């Protein structure tokens, strides 16, 4: 457990007693198998992020990597595993029972798990990626990969080595920057820098959640403060629809709405960054984060083209019309003058959050 509190079942009390420390969270996300293959992205391990039994369909992007980047992921994992911030769970709570193989077999049978994933529409063996992996026919894009990550002592050092490294990559951009972030709070300084990039001749595109598709309306309340300045400054701003049709091979969610969860950047159509980091103060200053920069023009251009083709179908374009901010729907040609698909309660919650002094916590 990273940076835990001993009161495991009383989280609110724990936060009250030790907020300054517990407010720093490990947000890193990776899966490495046999030290040979790593998957990096923004996806959490939970049913809703894998299209299972949730009323929200989360849109994520993952990179599967081999080579030098995997060794870097392994070193990063070892740093966290061996850091003073990582505590064996046995030190915190007693393990009172051990589950056996028979217990697991019983759960599988009771929940009918094998039937869910080995028959009918959701037959796992019919997935294209599964068969490509089994047959050894996965198409890989070979290029230079560099893992960027915060050190585990970020809660004390207050320094983001990931941000420092990523800034040097972004400063070298020459033609275009595409940012995809579900939680986007650019801050006043960040807004000025994005507008300045446009003034220097760069194409700047930002894709984030609309109020209706955002599962944290407090984030939206603060992001909304900067929308008008961004659009007036020439930034191309898009908000994902809550009813967007997310491309997927299969889904067990029965979802009622969609939500963007991808965290990525496309730089000059030459490089792609994918990781756990949102574009907000929490990722910059409070959480530890990780991500990988891939320099592979063919792949970067493919991602860029797919994005440009799909985004008018799945998101609203933010525009200025007669001095007011509006949402333009390219699929219907309709112009909306207030937060699309959002209830009055969500609008009120976002507005109220926007007047609270909580930006640095978002």
**Contact assessment for residue 289 and residue 275, using Cβ atoms and an 8 Å cutoff:** yes
**Contact assessment for residue 295 and residue 69, using Cβ atoms and an 8 Å cutoff:** no
The DSSP bridge pattern shows strands 203-209 and 236-240 to be parallel
Catalytic residue among 24, 29, 154, 220: 29
**Contact assessment for residue 162 and residue 291, using Cβ atoms and an 8 Å cutoff:** yes
84 in active site: no
106 in active site: no
Q: How far is CA 318 from CA 87, 140, 315, 354, in A?
A: 46, 36, 9, 19
Using CA atoms, how far apart are residues 181 and 238, in angstroms rounded to an integer? 11
Tokens of 45: 């391990």
Tokens of 263: 């965290």
Catalytic residue among 154, 268, 271, 280: 268
Catalytic residue among 34, 84, 112, 322: 34
268 in active site: yes
Using CA atoms, how far apart are residues 193 and 237, in angstroms rounded to an integer? 15
Catalytic residue among 24, 154, 220, 261: 261
Of 10, 35, 152, 24, residue with least CA distance to 86: 152
H helical segments located in 29-147: 68-81, 101-111, 113-117, 128-135
Of 51, 44, 86, 89, residue with least CA distance to 276: 44
**Contact assessment for residue 274 and residue 264, using Cβ atoms and an 8 Å cutoff:** yes
The secondary element (H helix, E strand) that includes residue 258 is strand 257-260
Using CA atoms, how far apart are residues 297 and 286, in angstroms rounded to an integer? 33
285 in active site: no
Could you tell me how many residues make up the chain? Answer: 362
Widest Cα–Cα separation across the chain: 68
34 in active site: yes
27 in active site: yes
Active site residue ranges: 27, 29, 34, 261, 263, 268
């Amino acid at each position: 457990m990273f940076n835990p509190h001993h009161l495991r079942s009383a989280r609110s009390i724990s936060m009250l007693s030790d907020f300054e420390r517990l407010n720093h969270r490990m947000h890193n996300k990776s899966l490495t198998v046999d030290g040979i293959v790593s998957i990096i992205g923004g996806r959490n391990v939970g049913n809703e992020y894998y299209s299972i039994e949730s009323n929200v369909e989360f849109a994520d992007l993952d990179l599967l990597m081999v080579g030098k980047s995997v060794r870097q992921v392994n070193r990063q994992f070892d740093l966290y595993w061996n850091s003073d911030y990582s505590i064996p769970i046995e030190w915190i709570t007693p393990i009172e029972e051990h589950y056996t193989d028979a217990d697991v077999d019983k759960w599988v049978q009771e929940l009918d798990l094998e039937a869910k994933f080995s028959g009918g529409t959701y037959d796992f063996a019919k997935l294209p990626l599964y068969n490509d992996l089994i047959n050894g026919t996965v198409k890989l894009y070979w290029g230079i990969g560099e893992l960027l990550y915060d050190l585990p002592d970020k809660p004390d050092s207050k320094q983001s080595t990931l941000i420092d490294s990523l800034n040097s990559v972004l400063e070298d951009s020459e033609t275009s920057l595409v940012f995809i972030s579900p939680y986007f709070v650019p801050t006043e300084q960040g807004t000025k820098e994005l507008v300045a990039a446009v003034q220097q001749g760069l194409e700047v595109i930002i894709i984030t959640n609309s109020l209706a598709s955002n599962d944290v309306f407090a984030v939206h309340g603060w992001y909304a403060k900067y929308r008008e300045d961004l659009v007036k400054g020439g930034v191309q701003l898009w908000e994902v629809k809550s009813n967007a049709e997310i491309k997927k091979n299969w889904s067990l969610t029965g979802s009622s709405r969609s939500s963007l969860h991808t965290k990525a950047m496309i730089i000059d159509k030459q490089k792609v960054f994918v990781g756990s980091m949102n574009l907000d103060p929490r990722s910059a200053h409070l959480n530890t984060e990780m991500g990988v920069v891939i320099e592979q023009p063919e792949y970067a251009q493919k991602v860029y083209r797919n994005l440009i083709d799909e985004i008018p179908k799945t998101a609203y374009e933010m525009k200025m019309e007669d001095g007011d901010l509006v949402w333009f729907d390219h699929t219907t040609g309709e112009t909306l003058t207030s937060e699309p698909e959002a209830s009055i309660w969500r609008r009120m919650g976002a507005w109220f959050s926007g007047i609270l002094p909580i930006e640095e916590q978002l």
